[in-house]
Structure 1
Amino acid sequence: MGDRLVLRLRRALTGPLPEPVWPAGIRPVPFEPDRHARQVHALLVEAYSRGGGYVEPFTIWWPSLRDDSEFDPALVVVAVNAQDEIVGVAQCWTSAFVKDLAVAPAMRRQGLGSALLRQAFRALQGRGAAFVDLKVDADNPSGALRLYRSLGFDEVESYRLS
C-alpha cells in the first residue's frame, strides 16, 4: 500500500440542509439487516475494488459492524433501483462520522452520492449533530474528494499512514 495521505473532512450541519435529489428510478429505503446486509457488503467490495477503501469478508465485516457500539441501522442510508437492487449506500456512525459511502459503478456521476450524503446529513442533524466528519485518501481514484468538497466539506486534519 505504501505511504498514503489521509484527510479528515468536516461539514457543519447547522441551519437548513438541502433536500436530497435522487436520480430517476432510484429511491431510498430503510436498511433491513436480514434483507440488505449481504447486498451492501457486495456493493462495498465492488466500489472499493479499484481503490479508495477496503472491506473485510462478510463473515468478519457484518458481525463487527452490527456489534459496534456506534452502529445504528437507522444511519445506514440505502438507495435501490426499480428492481430493488442496492445501487448506493452511506453508512454512518452515531458519532456523526461517515464510515462508508459506495455507489455502484453504473450509477456514478448521476448525483447519487450527493443524495445519499444529504439524506445522511438530515438524519444526523435530526439527532442533534452539529457537524459530520469522514476520512478519505487524498489520492482517492473515484472522485470522492471532489464530491465531498462540493457538499461543503473542509479539511480539518491530514496525516500519513504507511
Structure 2
Amino acid sequence: MGTEQIDLSNEHIRHELAGLLNACEDREPLFHRQISTDELPSLLTDLAAFQLEGQIWRNSSGVAEAFGYLRSFHVNGAVNSDLRFFVDPAIWNDAREGTIFDWGMKLAQAGQAEHGCEVWLYSDCLPTSIWRKAALECQGFAPIRYYYQLERPLQAPIPSVECPAGYRIRPVKAPADLPAWVDLFNAAYGGQWNYVPTTVEAQAALRQDQRYCNRYDLLVVNSTGTPVAFCLGFVLSRGGSPTGWVLEIGTQPALRNLGLGRTLLAALLRRFQEDDLATVRLAVDGENPSGAKRLYENLGFTAISSEIVYGLRLASGPQLASG
C-alpha cells in the first residue's frame, strides 16, 4: 500500500477524491448530495484559513482507496486538530480506518511536542452514520458537542427591524475596518467552545475569495462610528441552487440584548431575498452561551440536520499532567 500527500491543484487527484467521497455518500450520506470535482477544494478548506495536511492511501494497483485530512489550530492553550476521513466502502472495517487515525494522531501530537500543551483530536459525524460512529468509538473517541444546521425559506416575509437609536448599519470597508472587525470578532467569540482567534491577515485573505461580496459584509456602528456588531454572509453553490449562508454574526458582549444582532441578521436576510435566493442556512453550536439558536429561530430558522463532534484527548498540557 502506498501513500502520497493530497495536492488539490492536481485535477486527477481531485477526481479520485471526489469519486471516493461520493462512494461513501452513496452508502452513508454525510453531505446529502454528490460532490463535484471543482467543488472539492472549497469543501475541504471550508473558507477557513487553517493549514491543511492531507494524505491519500493507495492499494497495490495504485488505486486511491482512502484519504484523510487534518486541520490544526491553537485554542485557549491547547492544540485542536480536526480530522476528516473517507474510505472506499468496499474495504470498510478492514483496519484502514486505524491507519488513518494513526496518521492523524501522529500529526496532532507533534503540536504537543512543539508547544508542550494539551492536544485534542476531533472528528464530525452525523447521528445516522453507523460506520463512521463505530470507527470513531473504536479508537476511543466520544461525543462531546452537537451542532445544528438551520434553514430559512426566503419566500417567507422578513420582519422589519430597525436599529436602536444611536446605531446604524453599513457595509465593511476593507482594509480600513479590518482591525476593528477582528477585535470585535475576538471579543464576541472569546470564551466559546473551540474558539479560534482570528487575525487581520486571515480576514483580508477571506475577503479575497472569489465568492466574497461586500454587500453581505455588514457592521452596526454607534454614533461615533465605532463597530459594535458584525454579520458576514456568503452565497455558496454546493451541488444545487445558490444558497445564502450566514458565516459569522456577533455583538460586543456589553451591548448584547439590545437587538443589534437581530437587526443585522434581518438586514442580511433581506439582501439575500433581494438577490433572488430561495433559502439561507447557518450552523450553530447547540450549547452556544449567547442564545444564538433562539435568535435564529425567532427569525424563522428551523433545524434541518444535526452533527455530532467526537473528541479524543491525546496529550495533557503541563498543568494537567502535574495535577
Q: TM-score, normalised by structure 1?
A: 0.92
Q: Give 1:21's match in structure 2, choosing from 139, 149, 162.
A: 162
Q: Decide whether the 8 Å contact of 2:217 with 2:232 is kept in 1.
A: yes
Listed as ranges, the matches of 1:132-147 within 5 Å are 132-147=280-295
**99, 119, 128: which one pairs with 2:267?**
119
Alignment check: 8 A CA contact 2:182 2:200 kept? no
Match of 1:12 among 142, 145, 153: 153
Aligned residues of 1:30 and 1:77 also touching (Cα < 8 A): yes
| 1:106 and 2:247 are equivalent in the alignment | no
Match of 1:97 among 245, 266, 286: 245
- Whole-Å separation in 2 of the counterparts to 1:93 and 1:23: 26
The structure having more radius of gyration, on CA atoms, is: 2
Tell whether the 8 Å contact from 1:70 to 1:94 is kept in structure 2 after alignment.
Answer: yes
Alignment of 1:22-61 (within 5 A): 22-51=163-192, 54-61=195-202
Distance 1:128 1:155, change over 3 A: same
- The residue matched to 2:178 in structure 1 has which SS? helix
Structure-2 change in CA distance of 1:68 and 1:134 (3 Å): same
Tell me if the contact between 2:178 and 2:204 (Cα under 8 Å) persists in the aligned partners.
Answer: no
Could you say which residue in structure 1 is the equivalent of 2:88? none
Contact 2:179/2:200, CA 8 A, preserved across alignment: no
Displacement of 1:41: 1.3
Q: Distance in 2 between matches of 1:52 and 1:136?
A: 12
Aligned residues: percent identity?
31
Residue 6 of structure 1 aligns with an amino acid whose one-letter code is: Y
Q: Give SS of 1:34's match.
A: coil
C-alpha deviations, 1:44-102, integer Å up to 9, x for none? 11111020663443154223311223211111111100111101111001231000001
* Alignment partner of 1:65 out of 189, 197, 206: 206
Q: Distance in 1 between matches of 2:168 and 2:293?
A: 24
Could you list the runs of 5+ residues in structure 2 that have no partner in the other structure? Answer: 1-119, 121-142, 237-243, 311-323
Q: 2:257 corresponds to which letter in structure 1? A: R
Tell me: higher relative CO, structure 1 or 2? Use CA pairs within 8 A at least 6 residues apart. 1
Structure 1 residue ranges (4+ consecutive) displaced by more than 4 angstroms after TM superposition: none
In structure 2, what is the Cα distance between the partners aligned to 1:104 and 1:31?
16
Distance 1:105 1:7, change over 3 A: same
Instruction: Name structure 1 gaps, 5 residues minimum.
Output: none
Which whole-Å CA distance do the structure 1 matches of 2:161 and 2:290 have between them?
21
How does the TM-score come out when normalised to structure 2?
Answer: 0.48
Distance 2:204 2:175 in 1: 12
Aligned-residue CA RMSD in angstroms? 1.8
Partner of 2:305: 157
Take 1:53 and 1:24, find their aligned partners in 2: how far apart are those partners?
34
Give the Cα–Cα distance (whole angstroms) in 2 for the partners of residues 52 and 80 of structure 1: 27
Q: Which amino acid aligns with 1:146?
A: R
User: What's the counterpart of residue 86 of structure 1?
Assistant: 227
- Say which SS state the counterpart of residue 22 (structure 1) adopts: coil
CA distance in 2, matches of 1:90, 1:149: 17
